Structure 1
């Protein structure tokens, strides 16, 4: 699906370097107009919350939980608390009693999901794309790199010719990006709280996002297990990839063809 976005004209289009499979500069490229959009942090935050909360599943309690009992109120004159009791004197039903009901149980009627309009979501994704070219925003997210232009664009041959992790590490080192993966590895730690018991034991900072033409490319398989790395294609590139936590400025690597597909998806009309 193609989205047409109408925005005020910004500064001149940015020119970025194109790198080859050896990590050397192989030319330059003019970024598509979508990278000229202003960064709307408010829209990005809303779109992120919408995508994040869409994964939540409502849960609730049985309305009769803790209330299925034969206990009755005995009345006054027994010198004990006036709560429903079984014939043997055991209290039931009330919140403070064993096997009683919960005071304020979770309810499936609670609104968990943030709703966002389709055009707002498209504008937020395009704005998050533009943020990947802003060096100050990428550094503000905590990414570590030495490149002087962003995003990083590589030739299409890199998707095919870099097929193992050892070569991928050497290649990323030449591009000045490997330090960000080291940062993610050093920042990985055990989660605080009960998430440790629920299959979410470790917290891993996000590092590089690779936008490639396919998940089956050798480069995708070579880098997918690096700490904090995510793989995306132009067809499913979303706000969770571009702005984790609702914060724009993800350090991103595009293949040349993938960048062209992204530019066709977001057509920008300047006023």
Structure 2
């Protein structure tokens, strides 16, 4: 089955993420087109190690069967307060947007800085004393010293960050850059990715939410939930929807904070529970606000800090029907831009099929690749040989070096032979015995 047989959908990656055995991972690649010049085909060993062949991939099933029910269904069931399916609603296009975990983490980090409170030490701290240096010649350091007498403090060093009672190095100032301005399009992109991640059960489970008994994700309830105002009724609805186990998890996780924060209004810390997203507040905020871990937000005020606490995507969200229906107007579809946001369209993924193994092994890609060449095993831990000393390596790098070396050897042998012949032709000089006259000059008178 080739790529031509794969049914096409809107350009998004999340449609195929549930089918990946390695989890939901955003992918982007720039593949070679079928009509482009062929490249070198990877070796069989490389393909086997990097893209293991699953028996289920030998004969790929149709895409609709391999994807999850969540990603391929066109509608979502609307649950009543009794937990039964009362109607259906189309799945907004924002849930098929690409999930960019890197964008969510980066934007969350910048947005979380905007609620920081400035802190600094007193500008006078450590310098509220009269001290002057004694200068040189006193056999002490030239640090300023407290004057006066009658106390141990006199003569002690002051002001320096190495001194007792001195100021700190580079005292902190309140005009530090505490807040970070974030691009509006980046914030919207991060929110769209966080919303799309709430519809992937594997990501919601990976974040720690207890949704094993939930009927489906995303979970949509009827608009009559917005009219309740009693917490007792809200807890009953959560139990009916099988979502109360996530609240129990939050209650059991309540622990006393370690450190000084427990003295500063942050005595306890606990997990996050469900996020209830509504369209109109007719009492729903009053009903749910006192349940541990449960947070509420209007669909027109969606916040990345609540959709992805800590920068971790996949929060368990409970949508009301009215809020769920507003998503196409807020974020648009792949056919039309958003109507409630200015100049915003849903982001498009780099690839429409995130099953990269299937793309690489398809007939369209394999037909334009050259056959695999001989495998080469690199030995990185062997000692490097010097070709100037190792003749075998030298001849492998430069085969003509063998001819050069032989010519040089023959030339040297020829020179030696010519030198020997010249010396033989010249002959040896005969030794003449010294005469008596010469010997007499060597003797003392």
TM-score (norm 2): 0.55
Gaps of 5+ in 2: 1-9, 16-71, 150-154, 336-347, 349-445
What's the CA shift string for 1:104-143, capped at 9, x where partnerless? 4324464444443111110110111111110000001100
CA contact (8 A) 1:13 1:36 kept: no
* 1:130-164 C-alpha deviation (Å, 9 max, x unpaired): 1111000000110002114212101111211x332
User: For the residues of structure 1 that align with 2:250 and 2:297, how far apart are their CA atoms?
Assistant: 19
Paired residue for 2:130?
70
TM-superposed CA distance for 1:235, in Å, is: 1.8
Mapped to 2, the partners of 1:238 and 1:82 lie a distance apart of 57
Task: Find 2:76's aligned residue among 13, 16, 31.
Answer: 16
SS in 1 for 2:333: strand
Q: 1:92 aligns with which of 158, 161, 167?
A: 158
**Cα pair distance change 1:14/1:102, threshold 3 Å:** farther
The answer (yes or no) to whether the contact 1:13–1:32 under 8 Å persists in 2 is no
Cα deviation code 1:150-185 (max 9, x no counterpart): 12101111211x332222222211211000000001
2: CA distance between counterparts of 1:244 and 1:59?
Answer: 24
Contact 2:81–2:240 under 8 Å retained in 1: no
* Structure 1 residue 83 corresponds to structure 2 residue 86: no
Using the TM superposition, give the Cα deviation of residue 188 of structure 1 relative to its aligned residue in structure 2, in angstroms.
1.1
Tell me the alpha carbon deviations over residues 81-123 of structure 1, each in whole angstroms, 9 at most, x when there is no partner.
Answer: 5421122323321223343111243244644444431111101
Cα distance between partner residues in 1 of 2:195 and 2:263? 35
Deviation of the 1:69 alpha carbon = 3.7
| Higher-RCO chain (CA-CA 8 Å, sequence separation at least 6) | 1
Match of 1:152 in 2: 219
Map 1:117-196 onto structure 2 (within 5 A).
Answer: 117-145=183-211, 146-160=213-227, 162-196=228-262
Contact between 1:19 and 1:26, CA under 8 Å: does it hold in 2? yes
| Structure 1 segments unaligned to the other structure (5+ residues) | 1-6
Q: Does 1:247 align with 2:247?
A: no
Bigger helix share: 2
Q: Distance in 2 between matches of 1:15 and 1:191?
A: 44
Q: Which residue number in structure 2 is paired with residue 208 of structure 1?
A: 274
Question: Which portions of structure 1, spanning 4 or more consecutive aligned residues, are displaced by more than 6 angstroms?
Answer: none
Structure 2 Cα separation of the partners of residues 13 and 54 of structure 1? 39
Q: Deviations over 1:36-61 (max 9, x none)?
A: 11211011112211221111134344
Contact 1:15 1:28 in 2 (8 A): yes
Residue in structure 2 matched with residue 234 of structure 1 by the alignment: 299
1:218 aligns with 2:278: no
CA apart distance, 1:211:
0.6
Deviation of the 1:20 alpha carbon: 0.6
C-alpha separation in 2, matches of 1:219 and 1:68: 56
1:264 to 317, 329, 332: 329
Query: Where is the strand percentage greater, Structure 1 or Structure 2?
Result: 1
2: CA distance, partners of 1:84 / 1:23 = 77
Q: In the alignment, is the contact (CA less than 8 A) between 1:46 and 1:114 conserved in 2?
A: no
The alpha-carbon deviation at position 70 of structure 1 amounts to: 2.5
Larger Rg: 2
- 1:59 matched to 2:123: no
The alignment yields a C-alpha RMSD, in angstroms, of: 2.2
